[in-house]
Structure 1
Amino acid sequence: MTFPYRVIDLTHTITPTSPTWEGAAGVKQDVLLDYGQCTTETPFCVQQFTLAAGVGTHIDAPAHCVPKGLTVDKLPLSDLLVPCVMIDVSAKAHERYRISPEDLDDFERQHGAIPPRSFVVFYTGWARFWSEPEKYRNNLVFPCVAKETAELLIKRDIAGLGIDTLSPDRPDGGYPVHQLVLGAQRYLVENVAHADRLPATGSFALILPTNIQGATGAWVRLLALVNP
């Protein structure tokens, strides 16, 4: 049987130079046992990785900023395979742009209401700087989401929110989107890749975080399933 969907990978590859909130990713990759060191007939390479949870394309669970909020391992699976909506604001998203309620209104006038329990991805075009970490980080100045927009998305009962920048919040405005979305026991996905390949509606998102007990955030393989 042929798989009925085209798969789009929305995940950045993690490297030692991947941009993060603090700067470089700080990824450390050690080889504990190399092929040539094996005494068995079958050679193995055993590696160990050290990196923060907020590296690359990753998920923030409610517990990231809500004490006693859901951790990654407690997120309902039904919220991790959901309809996907892509809202394209790239034509207007300068570095200090805040995605506004008017952007939602424009989208819904053209494409209809955002379905409940959807994963909403904002495409700002900022991911074009991913391979240039200093530009991507930009002293933490990048397109973000207005508080009022997050309030409307919660009213629309979204499952989660994704964006192709370091965060839906900039530090100069506090962290209202984190507070609102995570406070409603929804999740955030940051550093979404290739959002421009998504249709506005009609696809499904598959959000696959590493299932770590008690984790407030985790690396995620983010996939979209699109009708061919």
Structure 2
Amino acid sequence: MKIVDLTHLIKEGMPVFPGTEPPVLEAANTLEKDGFREKKLHMYSHTGTHMDAPAHMIAQGWTLDQVPASAFFGPAAKLDARGLQRIEKHHLESLIKPETEFLILWTGWDQFWGSESYFGAFPTLSPEAAKWLSGLPLKGVGVDAISIDPMDSVNFEVHLELLGSDKVIIENLKGLDQLPEHFLFSAMPLKLEDADGSPVRAFALVDHDLSTNC
């Protein structure tokens, strides 16, 4: 079994969603002064590779600390969405199997991480595709872009559709080119109180027999 890390490094000056602030990693204690090292972290809950809880945009939505860790792990299917403008229902229908719990959208956009192009016109789900996904028993949908909605969205239609159906959204994934079409996926958030979102350490387990009970 191979573990593939799908997580961007959190560091000062990293890309963040427009209107938010990049993280500040402050040296709170040092070896020279205190005999141990410790950092003070100042960052938004949706920094870097992160997870959106339903509570991010849904008034009565649940927070990440309200569900078990099993909600963040399971069999996944990867769609090669490179070159598409909109991801439609017909792109997804044959991909998602009865055992699929996560859909991962490979746009290839992580190649632009750290440049202005990262905030460009990456492939996104159409409203119709998002509505269809909302009716499936998935745990979540992930993407290797800054958002699951287009950058010019003002109503966050895809977010609202998915979060409103009790699914999580994982954004800013990386390295999806290393994955097969089906694999095991994990994205574990920090167990923060009242967590509308959290940075995650996302990874995939590949070369695993998905026919076994996970």
TM-score by length of 1: 0.85
Quick one: which amino acid aligns to residue 11 of structure 2?
T
Measured in 2, the distance between the counterparts of 1:215 and 1:87 equals 28
In the alignment, is the contact (CA less than 8 A) between 2:77 and 2:100 conserved in 1? no
Quick one: which amino acid aligns to residue 108 of structure 2?
G
Unaligned ranges ≥5, structure 2:
209-214
In the alignment, is the contact (CA less than 8 A) between 1:15 and 1:25 conserved in 2? no
Q: Which residue of 1 aligns with 2:190?
A: 210
Measured in 2, the distance between the counterparts of 1:36 and 1:22 equals 37
Measured in 2, the distance between the counterparts of 1:21 and 1:58 equals 12
Percent identity for Structure 1 against Structure 2: 30
> How far off is 1:19 after superposition?
1.4
Q: Which residue of 1 aligns with 2:212?
A: none
- In the alignment, which of 104, 111, 114 is matched to residue 128 of structure 1? 111
Unaligned ranges ≥5, structure 1:
none
Quick one: which amino acid aligns to residue 148 of structure 1?
E
Q: Which residue of 2 aligns with 1:178?
A: 159
In the alignment, is the contact (CA less than 8 A) between 1:161 and 1:188 conserved in 2? yes
> How far off is 1:84 after superposition?
1.0
- In the alignment, which of 62, 70, 73 is matched to residue 54 of structure 2? 62
In the alignment, is the contact (CA less than 8 A) between 1:19 and 1:137 conserved in 2? no
Measured in 2, the distance between the counterparts of 1:172 and 1:35 equals 46
Quick one: which amino acid aligns to residue 31 of structure 2?
Y
Q: 1:88-103 alignment to 2 at 5 Å?
A: 88-90=80-82, 92-93=83-84, 97-103=85-91
> How far off is 1:158 after superposition?
1.1
Measured in 2, the distance between the counterparts of 1:127 and 1:79 equals 25
Are 1:7 and 2:3 matched, yes or no?
A: yes
Quick one: which amino acid aligns to residue 175 of structure 2?
H
Measured in 2, the distance between the counterparts of 1:26 and 1:19 equals 7
In the alignment, is the contact (CA less than 8 A) between 2:69 and 2:188 conserved in 1? no
- May I ask how many residue pairs the two structures share in their alignment? 207
In the alignment, is the contact (CA less than 8 A) between 1:69 and 1:185 conserved in 2? yes
Measured in 2, the distance between the counterparts of 1:114 and 1:79 equals 18
- In the alignment, which of 69, 92, 104 is matched to residue 92 of structure 2? 104
Tell me the C-alpha RMSD between the 2 structures.
1.8
> How far off is 1:143 after superposition?
2.2
Could you list the runs of 4 or more consecutive aligned residues of structure 1 that deviate by over 4 angstroms after TM superposition? none
In the alignment, is the contact (CA less than 8 A) between 1:20 and 1:137 conserved in 2? no
Are 1:155 and 2:135 matched, yes or no?
A: yes
Which structure has the larger Rg over C-alpha atoms? 1
